[in-house]
């Protein structure tokens, strides 16, 4: 019940601050749940919940969510779509920011264990995640910490909006 109240029925959160988990690779979800038990992903809501889950429960939750159909999102800012698309597909060469697609897949579907599905994710959640990586508030991915530190607020917002519209 705790999962549904924040992440929605079948992992399709309607709360823009909370990630959509439907369709995320099971290995990635299980890793994140395990990370919530560590200082690298300390979160006032998720850490206490994760600490009460057994490894088997985490694997079962992850397997369930992976099989759920993600509901599509939509880009909201037509003025930044091209910038977001460029960052997602080609990166920002002058800042040594790689293309998001190189790790998260051309369609934003993610690569199990390391890289989550981004397609359709809430803009607000993605902005917060990237901002937290940049500040060090979230430090369970050295690659994302390095990448986010090289991005401006406007670049983060543009790519977050673009990925929200991927299907």
Task: Confirm if 41 and 116 have CB atoms less than 8 A apart.
Answer: no
Listed in sequence order, the residues at least 6 apart from 133 whose beta carbon sits closer than 8 Å to its beta carbon are 139, 141, 144, 145, 147, 148, 149
Rounded CA separation 20/158 (Å): 19
Residue 88's pLDDT is 98
CATH superfamily of 2-66: Cytochrome c-like domain (1.10.760.10)
**Is residue 112 predicted with pLDDT exceeding 90?**
no
pLDDT of residue 59: 97
92: phi then psi, degrees, rounded to nearest 5: -130, 90
Q: Comparing C-alpha atoms, which of 91, 121, 120, 85 is closest to residue 103?
A: 91
First to last CA, the chain: 27
| Domain ranges for the chain | 2-66, 81-164
Residue 111 φ/ψ, nearest 5 degrees: -130, 120
Q: Tell me how many degrees the CA angle 82-75-153 measures, rounded to the nearest 5.
A: 65
87: confidence class by pLDDT, cuts 50, 70, 90: very high
- pTM of the predicted structure, to 2 decimals: 0.93
What value, to the nearest 5°, has the Cα angle with vertex 158 and ends 109 and 79?
A: 120
Q: Residue 140 burial (CB < 10 Å; 0-12/13-18/19+)?
A: middle
Percent of the residues in the chain that have a pLDDT greater than 70, as a whole number: 99
47 pLDDT above the threshold of 70: yes
Q: How far apart are CA 114 and CA 73, in angstroms?
A: 22
Query: Does residue 32 surpass a pLDDT of 80?
Result: yes
What is the pLDDT of the chain when averaged over all its residues? 95
Examine domains 2-66 and 81-164 and report if their fold is the same: yes
**1 has a pLDDT exceeding 90:** no
**CATH topology (fold) of 81-164:** Cytochrome Bc1 Complex; Chain D, domain 2 (1.10.760)
Write phi, then psi, for 97 (nearest 5 degrees).
Answer: -100, 115
């Amino acid at each position: 019940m705790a999962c549904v109240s924040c992440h929605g029925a079948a992992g399709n959160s309607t709360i823009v601050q909370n990630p959509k988990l439907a369709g995320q690779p099971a290995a990635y979800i299980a890793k994140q749940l395990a990370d919530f038990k560590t200082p690298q992903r300390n979160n006032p809501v998720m850490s206490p919940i994760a600490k009460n889950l057994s490894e088997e429960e985490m694997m079962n939750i992850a397997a369930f969510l992976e099989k759920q159909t993600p509901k599509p999102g939509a880009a909201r800012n037509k003025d930044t779509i091209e910038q977001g698309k460029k960052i997602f597909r080609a990166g920002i060469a002058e800042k040594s920011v790689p293309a998001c697609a190189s790790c998260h897949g051309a369609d934003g579907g993610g690569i199990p264990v390391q890289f989550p599905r981004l397609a359709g994710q809430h803009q607000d959640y993605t902005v917060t995640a990237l901002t937290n990586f940049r500040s060090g508030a979230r430090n369970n991915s050295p690659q994302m910490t390095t990448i986010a530190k090289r991005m401006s607020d406007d670049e983060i917002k543009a790519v977050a909006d673009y990925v929200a519209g991927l299907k």
